[in-house]
Amino acid sequence: MIRKVIVITKDWDYLRSDLELLCERLIKSNVECEMRDLDDTESRQLVIRYGIENGIVRIPQIYVIKDGNIKRMHYEVTRDARLNVDSLIINIMNEVCSRE
């Protein structure tokens, strides 16, 4: 079973350090996690196909790829402009470990 998390972001993303922490924690949980720049061709293709909502692209984009299926993960930003990493890890692990 192929399972991977792809995080698409930019250098200026104020959530970047939280995203790096997210990837580190996922890797420690044996889930492949890759950070990509929005300018990368493959990243843009993912965003165009799966990341536009109501005509808007939100950065960062977080995708779970499992057995060829791609799902964009929603996330919560706290009032102090931080990523809720714990909640996101739970949601990602539920998605990665589901039997669908």
What is the reported pLDDT for 1?
62
- Higher-scoring residue by pLDDT: 99, 32: 32
Q: What is the mean pLDDT of the chain?
A: 92
**Cα-trace Rg, the chain:** 13
Q: Does domain 3-97 have CATH number 3.40.30.10?
A: yes
- Is pLDDT of 34 > 60? yes
Q: What percent of the chain has pLDDT over 70?
A: 96
Token couple for 94: 């539920």
CA distance readout (Å), 63 to 54, 73, 79, 80? 18, 6, 23, 24
Residue position matching structure tokens 């005509």? 55
- Is pLDDT of 2 > 90? no
Average pLDDT over residues 61-87: 92
Lowest mean pLDDT among 26-30, 62-66, 71-75, 95-99: 95-99
CA distance readout (Å), 40 to 9, 36, 48, 90, 91? 10, 7, 12, 28, 26
Task: Give the start-to-end residue ranges of the domains of the chain.
Answer: 3-97
67 Cβ neighbours under 8 A, 6+ residues apart: 1, 2, 3
DSSP-assigned beta bridge partners for residue 3: 66
Where does the pLDDT of residue 59 fall: very low under 50, low under 70, confident under 90, or very high at 90 and above? very high
